[in-house]
Chains A and B, each alone.
Chain A
Amino acid sequence: MDLKGSRTIAADRMTVWRALNDAEILKAAIPGCKEMTGNADDGFEATVTQKIGPVKATFKGVVTLSDVIEGESYRISGEGKGGPAGYARGGANVRLDETDGVTTLSYEVDAKVGGKLASLGARLIDGVAKKLADQFFENFQNAVAPRSDDEAPDDDDTGREPEKKKGLIKKMFS
């Protein structure tokens, strides 16, 4: 499955870029992220718990950044193994454009699942991936430049339970 989208973030481009390379912020943004270690140069290791249809699994895997154009774009990709649940993998091509101090973050996401996740959850995966992508970028946006209350979405479906639920790239694109 593939999906595209964009977000506007009230911050300059380099601020957003640094956030995109910050393990703590990524950890906070990735839905279901339990742990995340490492750095942008060497890659990150992440543990993410997610439920796709009837399958709930904890994925362990690596998140890597590639095709990096400093301050402008990169590809963030990950692969997680979920034990008996199978695997999930994917990535996002992320691009930043700044206009008047506001940065537009555009993304194209692709995801694949295998094993039990595919045989039980394939029908659900597009919907799940879209939801997780939305959550990730919502979380990311909030982490970088929190919006005021009147800008908050009606549906507080950010997957951002205090402290715990940092969603990771993992899930969805991995």
Chain B
Amino acid sequence: MPKDHGIGASPKRREDVRFLTGNGQYTDDINIHGQSHVHFLRSDVAHGTIRSIDTSAAEAMPGVIRIFTSADFEGVGGVPCGWQVTDRFGEPMQEPKHPILAEGKVRYVGEIIVAVVAETLEQARDAAEAVVVDIDELPAVIDMKAALEDGATKVHDDLPGNLCFDWGFVEENRDAVDAAIKGAAHVTTLELRNNRLIANPMEPRVAIGDYNASNEEHTLYTTSQNPHVIRLLMGAFVLGIPEHKLRVVAPDVGGGFGTKIFHYAEEAFCTFAAKAVNRPVKWTSTRAEAFISDAHGRDHVTRIELALDKDGKFLAVRTDTYANMGAYLSTFAPSVPTWLHGTLMAGNYTTPLVYVNVKAVFTNTVPVDAYRGAGRPEATFQLERVIDKAARELGIDPIELRRRNFIKPDQFPYATPVALEYDTGNYDATMDKLVEIADIRGFGKRKAESAERGKLRGLGINCYIEACGIAPSNLVGQLGARAGLYESATVRVNATGSISVFTGSHSHGQGHETTFPQVVAEMLGIDESQVDIVHGDTSKIPMGMGTYGSRSIAVGGSAMVRATEKIIAKAKKIAAHLMEAGEEDVEFADGTFTVAGTDKSVAWGDVTLAAYVPHNYPLEDLEPGLEETAFYDPANFTYPAGAYACEVEVDPETGKVDVMSMTAVDDFGNVINPMIVDGQVHGGLAQGIGQALLEACVYDDDGQLLSGSYMDYAMPRADDLPSFTVDHSCQTPCTHNPLGVKGCGEAGAIGSPPSLVNAVVDALSEAGVTHIDMPLSPSRVWSAIQAAR
């Protein structure tokens, strides 16, 4: 019978009460007395030299407080990059300055040139129209391969070219991989594009800067997934404000999907300007601004080769990828196509040799950075598409081909040729479950039924593995991270026994306010309603590296467990004193302390009260109070893995694809709240289907964003999606964190695009189609059918 409380139960999301009743407190809900408003004048050309900026007419307009250009930011740092990749020759990546406001040149449509601060937003906008910016337009660099050709226009004049880095992994294996591919019985090659996406969280970005001149304290309210990271980057690298004078608050945040990890120029501007004008300064992005200023995602072009022996065993994988960085390096951009991508190219398989080459390229487009999955969806898509193609070429069932190459349960811990050590997993078990619940054996009958209606039905399956629970600090430090990736938690037990948990894991849709109390309540044997979560404010939380990479329960949750363990240890000492017993004889279960073998007991509330009213208390040995902090640094990544199946119907007359079913079998290790995990997977599947079927960020040759609104950028809607079948009963608990959890936030977005594309290619295989690039819009599918005829 399912549990009704604690770990494994599915209480409803307590945060939804305020979200669904309009009582959420988002950044834009915050208005500070005396606040001013900023409007950013952004470049409408992709590349050009700024000849002059004339703000004189605008300055005379009503309500204008001050107009800023890059000249006001002399001595201020640029927006920093948080990860330095070393190229395959041992040299650091090319790292251009990323100014707050454009300096001398503009490099993408949407780059901020001028900021107008005025009494009202309308006045700021009106004044911005009176600013005259004279730009000498230069040719734009949009296509990545063209950007690397000799003589290509340079995005950054002070760099040698448009190549950010040429990364090889594992470089020492390069020759061995080449040799293995040359000698293989069969080599399958596939060229594909992982389409560029715009995250489009429901809440656009907002920033409010506030400054208190009397104590020189800055406050930034911002839509961030990680306020401490923003404090660190902005305080240390941009504005030079020490931590104790800079508070960053990220209140309720309406979705992030990666795009709210990064430190943005608008945040630094509002913080800087609040002091400069001695007024709070507020910016709220419009949706149109979000399209041209939020970091974009994906945008990889890849050629992948898979070498197999005569029995279908994988011998080697070689890839050649171009990764778009956009015009500047966003916070974690260099890590996405490298360490979050190359390390996953072994997949769930025993492939002994892997070589990944990635050329990261500057173009005159919005910076590109992590988007749900970040590197791992790109790796999974290439690998699972080429395996499917190989299966078709060799006439082997795609499930059977994968099974022949799975890492087997008795091989864990398994060291891959691409640096990771998978601690645990059972890929046959998830595949068995998939075959069962997706009714793979019944596909032929469904295909025949579809055919009767004139539809082509296809079945696509794929596996995935991801490295989550990011990440061991010493390891990522070696790989170029400019931060540690631990997490912290403070568990504050109040006198009456209720608890506030201060966690560095920010919650913006993940349901932490529900799941984290489930863990603490389970450990203490008290009711979940006695536990609340506090997050999102650097003045309250000791430290936090934030929420991304499916790390919250695995890393933040583990820190909370460690702090709670300290609470239990101290509470036992207090209980021993109250019961006049030896500490070693005290047992704690279901919220009651007992002395083993006696009928002596004290309740949780008796102990917590004694801690704060220490009249009968071992003051000579023990401090009063009951509050503990722990920092947790993971020993390894976690490795969620699974098997997905998708069935589609294609209308051969129109090319329209209907997703008939999507089945996700995930091994997330232990699960805290199965209902919330279902919801996380559902959301990921919707975004994965969006990428595979609908979403495309399109630039023209001049660098104009053509998909700049919902008229042209197609987001998935309910009627694009089937009713999902989701299972996470196959559980191989993580071996190195105290909860045995792996994380579930990104899996759906990683696992679903390849199964959908595999399904469409399956449906069209008899017509001779072997690949279609995402998104599989009707026109592309129809064209592929015609071309294959």
Contact = CB atoms under 8 A, between A and B. Distances in A.
Q: Do A and B bind each other?
A: yes
Interface of A: 83-84, 86-87, 112-116, 118-120, 122-123
Contacts of A123: 706, 711-712
Closest 7 CB pairs of A and B: A119-B708, A115-B44, A118-B704, A83-B129, A86-B44, A122-B706, A114-B44
A113 B704 contact: yes
A120 B708 CA distance: 6
Interface of B: 44-45, 109, 125, 128-129, 288, 291-292, 700, 702, 704-709, 711-712
Nearest to A87: B44
A119 B125 contact: no
Contacts of B706: 118-119, 122-123
B44 A116 contact: yes
Contact of B709 (A84, A113, A114, A119): A119
Contacts of B711: 120, 123
A110 B292 CA distance: 26
Nearest to B130: A83
A118 B700 contact: yes
B210 to A, nearest CB: 27
Nearest to B41: A84
A124 to B, nearest CB: 10
Given A116-B44, A119-B708, 19 more contacts: A87-B44, A87-B45, A112-B702, A113-B704, A114-B44, A114-B45, A115-B45, A118-B109, A118-B704, A119-B292, A119-B704, A119-B706, A119-B709, A119-B712, A120-B288, A120-B709, A123-B706, A123-B711, A123-B712
A114 B708 CA distance: 11
Contact of A122 (B125, B291, B704): B704
Contact of A116 (B129, B288, B700): B288
Contacts of B128: 84
B236 to A, nearest CB: 35
B702 A119 contact: no
A119 B707 contact: yes
Contacts of B704: 113-115, 118-119, 122
Contacts of A87: 44-45
Contacts of A113: 704
A112 to B, nearest CB: 7
A119 B291 contact: yes
Contacts of B702: 112, 114
Contacts of A119: 109, 288, 291-292, 704-709, 712
Nearest to B134: A81
Contacts of A86: 44
A118 B704 CA distance: 6
25 contacts: A86-B44, A87-B44, A113-B704, A114-B109, A115-B109, A115-B704, A116-B708, A118-B44, A118-B109, A118-B705, A118-B706, A118-B708, A119-B109, A119-B288, A119-B292, A119-B704, A119-B705, A119-B707, A119-B708, A120-B709, A120-B711, A122-B700, A122-B704, A122-B706, A123-B706
Contacts of A84: 125, 128-129
A144 B704 CA distance: 38
A122 B711 CA distance: 11
A112 B140 CA distance: 14
A149 to B, nearest CB: 41
A114 B700 CA distance: 10
A105 to B, nearest CB: 29
Contacts of B291: 119
A4 to B, nearest CB: 21
Nearest to B707: A119
Contacts of B705: 118-119
A116 B758 CA distance: 37
B407 to A, nearest CB: 46
A135 B519 CA distance: 71
A83 B125 CA distance: 10
Contacts of A83: 129
Nearest to B291: A119
A120 B44 CA distance: 13
B702 to A, nearest CB: 7
Nearest to B44: A115
B50 to A, nearest CB: 14
Contacts of B709: 119-120
A86 B42 CA distance: 10
A86 B109 CA distance: 10
Nearest to A83: B129
Contacts of A122: 700, 704, 706, 712
A4 B706 CA distance: 24
A115 B702 CA distance: 11
A87 to B, nearest CB: 6
Contacts of A115: 44-45, 109, 704
Contacts of B708: 116, 118-120
A44 B49 CA distance: 25
Contacts of B129: 83-84
A47 to B, nearest CB: 14
A84 B130 CA distance: 10
Contacts of A114: 44-45, 109, 702, 704
